[in-house]
Amino acid sequence: MNEPLVLQSKLDLPAADPLATALKERLGTDVTVDAGAVASIGALGLQVLISAAASLKATGHRMTIINASDRLIEQMSQMGFTPESIAEGTS
Amino acid sequence: MSDANDPMAEIRASFFIECEELMEAMQDGLTTLDEGDDDPETINVVFRAVHSIKGGAGAFGLEALVRFAHRYETALDDVRSNKFTPDADAMRLFFSCADHLSDLIRVCRDDDAIPDDRSAELLAQLDTLLGGAAEEEEEVSADDFEPMGVSISLDLDGLGDLPPLDFDVDDAAPMDETPCYHIRFKPEQEMFETGNEPQMLLRNLAALGEATIECDLRDLPPLEALAAETSYLSWDITLIADVDEAEIREIFEFVDGLCELSVRRAGSDTDAPAVTAPIETSSDGFADLPEPPATVPDDPDVPVAAAPAPVAAALAPSAPSAAPAPEEKTARKPAPAKAAGAAANGPKSVVRVDLERIERLVNLVGELVINQAMLSQSLEQAGLSPHSDAMNGLEEFQRLTRDIQDSVMMIRAQPVKSLFQRMSRIVRESSAGVGKNVRLVTVGEGTEVDKTVIERLADPLTHMIRNAVDHGLESTEDRRAAGKSAEGIVTLSAAHRSGRVIIEVSDDGAGINRKRVLEIATNKGLVPADASLTDSDIDNLLFAPGFSTASEVSDLSGRGVGMDVVKTAIQSLGGRITITSEAGKGTKFSISLPLTLAVLDGMVVNVADETLVVPLNVVVETLSLGAADVEMLRPGKYIVRVRGEFVPLFDLGVELGYREARDSYVGAIVLLIAYEDGARAALIIDGIQDQRQVVIKGLDDSFFRAPGIAAATILGDGQIALILDPADIIAEASGASRTEALSA
């Protein structure tokens, strides 16, 4: 099992690219994403996670999001998602 | 609940459950209105509740319910559109209509006889209240309703006929219903570069009303092909909100040109497909009905086409809480819609669970607690060191068990609000019955109590409220003469106090006429003529079986079954009832109940080789008696001195009949017991074993109610122990020295 990928506190435009890079490196393994430090997630951060989750799923691997705060879950739901649906790569 | 094989029965059952919630919201709204609130949203809530009930009832062919709700709704609509400002009489009528509506729902649910007379009577009153406009209305709607049978489409037609009364279709449509919008929103890359965030916009949108947010992932590439700074997502939002399009567009004002945006109002005549969309996604099972609102597109003229949005709006509020149709899109993904709703107006997201499942869970947790106690006992007997890993683990296990227990109990807990609302109806009806002007003030509606307790409190509370209105409060003339306001006040309050729930019913009436109470009790032979009783003894006579003070038997409360029935009901819940009264100021009944009927913290004690459990919350302290502590009042009657205070002393073994009295009290262990009212007593026991959580196993089903015994439990070693009700034991014991009547 790999070390969890610890997310930054703000998943906005500047954070999207580094996040995508980090996730690309983990394609081909099961990925655990530690969202414990995330204070806000934007649409760009969101789409990286969903895209990664979908790609993982397509290759028989899975993403798990852990430690999502209530605030983060609320932000996700405002965009139509739950941590589970993101980890599934679906809306 | 319902026949699992019949989906209609299930949907029907969930409709009636929703009705209960709607009625609750409606009662709330009416109460707020009655208190002088003129927020337009308040009347909207009431209106929407009635409208939703009507809509659902139409779908199930509950004609009587539809007809009444429709006319009631019309009246409320007049209030909403400021055509009519309700005065106190009108509010009373509105309350009566709400009560009747809830009766109708009940008879429809139980297939009982429909009280048409009462409907006609109330509708006639509504007509009188609203004057000519309503009569005109009546002709229109009556014509519509009679020949057509019942379906949603009929309901819509009825509405479709409403606008001509307003002479202005454009005005009437938005006033009629909460509009439903479809918004499609696709941010462009520039939007992010300017520091805007779709999540904020979506949040603001959801805050306008009830939003269902769906993200479109069609364009999202796999990670390898993803350019992190390009926007691929777009959103479809269904928003039910009482706002106009401009307000929605205002949210996107700052990203104008930085995103693709379309806002369509559902039901606008240019947009026929959108008409059915909200119904499909938000009506739960209703779209599957044999006569779906699909009739709508057949009549695409303006007034009718405008109507579908109202139906969607009316049904949608129920969607987040009820998910009986898992095949529905929104039901499968309730989280986003619910959270958005919560952001908008703060309703809690809820899951409806069959009570049986919870009961099963509660029982299982009960078994877990017992099992944990057994395990702990066997580990102890195995002689493990208290510092061993096993013992430490066990401690953690105990803590977890307790947390689980608490959480499970919280599932069963419900606010007393629904119960209190039923009581406000009792007050309205009983005060009208005896011609008094009475207001019910409720305090602590949010206090949560075990569901079983709430259900079983309804009857005793009803009785007490009626008593307060009928006997407690004086007549209006007497109140004026006493310099009080003509309006009597009955206060119903609930609060948590030291691990118990205290429910109080008080009135600001004349107080108990003790002279008269004593006279009656003496006449009825409840007390000997020469008995000398304290005020509180006399007050307690009200609880004696067969006692009734009203010289004329009114049809309200004087039915010969008196407060003794209330007392028995409360006792069967493990509770106690006390009474305090002050002449000229009023009377107060306090009910003290255990928070739950399933577990308690107990002190496990030995008395004459028997193991007993004393509820921990009544034990103030334990002490060992010295020679100087005990004083004899008279033979067989002792008191003990505790911290400068004298407290009556009872030997538990003697009171329970286990053994003879001790020769000497020196060295005996004593539990100091305190009641809710602060009075104390000391109980002699033979030894203390332990302090632990015990699972209450009721005895009532299999045995008679033994005085002083509240229930039983199973201890860790599998032994059965009785749980005591110390206050009852002491009442029994002290009763023996007074009169038999008082010990009842």
pLDDT tens by residue, B283-293:
343 434 444 44
Q: Which residue of B has its CA nearest to A91?
A: B215
Contact present, B727 and B576 (Cβ < 8 Å): yes
DSSP per-residue codes, B670-715: EEEEE-TTS-EEEEEESEEEEEEEEE-B--TTTS---TTEEEEEE-
What architecture is domain B599-743? Beta Barrel (2.40)
Please give the Cα distance from B168 to B367 (Å, whole number). Answer: 67
Interface mutation vs chain B, best among A38, A44, A88, most B CBs within 10 Å: A44
pLDDT grade, residue B144 (50/70/90)? very low
**Tokens standing for B116?**
């048409």
Mean pLDDT, residues B41-46: 83
B630-634 β-sheet, strand order: B619-624, B669-674, B680-685, B645-651, B637-642, B630-634
Contact present, B232 and B260 (Cβ < 8 Å): no
Q: Which residue of B has its CA nearest to A77?
A: B336
**Tokens standing for B706?**
């033994």
pLDDT grade, residue B140 (50/70/90)? very low
Provide the residue count of chain B.
744
The reply to whether residue A80 touches residue B215, judged by beta carbons under 8 angstroms, is: yes
Q: Residue B567, CB half-sphere, CA atoms under 13 Å: how many?
A: 19
Q: Which residue of B has its CA nearest to A49?
A: B223
Most confident of B350-359, B569-578, B611-620: B611-620
pLDDT top residue among B367 and B7: B367
Q: Which residue of A has its CA nearest to B233?
A: A47
Provide the residue count of chain A.
91
3-state DSSP call for residue B13? helix
Q: Which residue of A has its CA nearest to B213?
A: A80
Residues whose CB falls within 8 Å of the CB of residue B507, separated by 6 or more in sequence, listed in order: B468, B469, B472, B473, B488, B489, B490, B491, B586, B587, B588
Please give the Cα distance from A88 to A91 (Å, whole number). Answer: 8
3-state DSSP call for residue B539? helix
Average pLDDT of chain B, as a whole number: 74
The reply to whether residue B220 touches residue A50, judged by beta carbons under 8 angstroms, is: yes
Our CA-based measurement puts residue B347 at a distance from the nearest CA of chain A, in whole angstroms, of: 14
Which residue, B11, B125, B13, B142, is CA-closest to B70? Answer: B142
DSSP state of B645: E
Domains of chain A: 5-88 (3.30.750.24)
CA distances from A28 to A20, A52, A58, A60, A88 (A): 14, 11, 10, 8, 16
The reply to whether residue A81 touches residue B215, judged by beta carbons under 8 angstroms, is: yes
DSSP state of B280: H
Our CA-based measurement puts residue B217 at a distance from the nearest CA of chain A, in whole angstroms, of: 7
Question: Which of B231, B232, B235 shows the shortest C-beta gap to A80?
Answer: B235
Our CA-based measurement puts residue A69 at a distance from the nearest CA of chain B, in whole angstroms, of: 14
* CB neighbours of residue B529 within 10 Å: 8
Our CA-based measurement puts residue B214 at a distance from the nearest CA of chain A, in whole angstroms, of: 5
Determine contact: B206 vs chain A, CB below 8 A: yes
The reply to whether residue A42 touches residue B224, judged by beta carbons under 8 angstroms, is: no
CB-based burial label for B698 (10 Å; 0-12, 13-18, 19+): middle
**Tokens standing for B253?**
């004002």
Question: Among residues of chain B, what percentage have pLDDT more than 90?
Answer: 3
**Tokens standing for B567?**
């007392």
Angle, CA of B318, B204 and A69, to the nearest 5°: 80
pLDDT top residue among B500 and B455: B455
The CATH code of domain B416-594 reads 3.30.565.10
Q: What ipTM describes this predicted complex?
A: 0.93
pLDDT top residue among B520 and B235: B235
B500-507 β-sheet, strand order: B438-443, B488-497, B500-507, B586-594, B576-582
Interface mutation vs chain A, best among B188, B193, B215, most A CBs within 10 Å: B215
Q: Which residue in the block uniquely carries the two structure tokens 């009830």?
A: B210
Torsion angle (degrees, nearest 10) of CA B194, B199, B205, B207: -130
Angle, CA of B580, B586 and B590, to the nearest 5°: 35
Residue type, position B602, single letter: G
- For chain B, the domains span 7-175, 180-265+322-345, 355-411, 416-594, 599-743
Which residue, B270, B252, B324, B303, is CA-closest to B56? Answer: B324
Our CA-based measurement puts residue A45 at a distance from the nearest CA of chain B, in whole angstroms, of: 8
B451-498 pLDDT, tens digit per residue, is 878 888 888 888 888 888 888 888 888 888 888 888 889 999 998 876
Q: Give B208's contacts in chain A (Cβ within 8 Å).
A: none
Judged against a pLDDT cut of 80, whether residue B341 lies above it is answered with no
Judged against a pLDDT cut of 60, whether residue B93 lies above it is answered with yes
B543-602 pLDDT, tens digit per residue, is 877 676 544 444 444 444 577 778 888 877 777 888 888 888 889 999 988 776 667 788
* Domain B180-265+322-345 -> CATH class: alpha beta
Q: Round to the nearest angstrom and report the end-to-end CA distance of chain A.
A: 27
**Tokens standing for B482?**
């006493």
DSSP state of B543: G
Q: Give B183's contacts in chain A (Cβ within 8 Å).
A: none
Please give the Cα distance from B669 to B619 (Å, whole number). Answer: 13
Q: Which residue of A has its CA nearest to B341?
A: A78
Q: Give A20's contacts in chain B (Cβ within 8 Å).
A: 223, 226, 228
The reply to whether residue B202 touches residue A78, judged by beta carbons under 8 angstroms, is: yes
DSSP state of B528: -
B652-698 pLDDT, tens digit per residue, is 888 888 888 777 888 888 888 887 666 788 888 988 988 887 877 77
Angle, CA of B528, B581 and B681, to the nearest 5°: 70
Please give the Cα distance from B585 to B587 (Å, whole number). Answer: 7
What architecture is domain B7-175? Up-down Bundle (1.20)
Least-confidence region, from B161-175, B215-229, B718-732: B161-175
Q: What is the pLDDT of residue B556?
A: 44
B63-82 pLDDT, tens digit per residue, is 888 888 888 888 888 888 77
Q: What is the pLDDT of residue B310?
A: 41
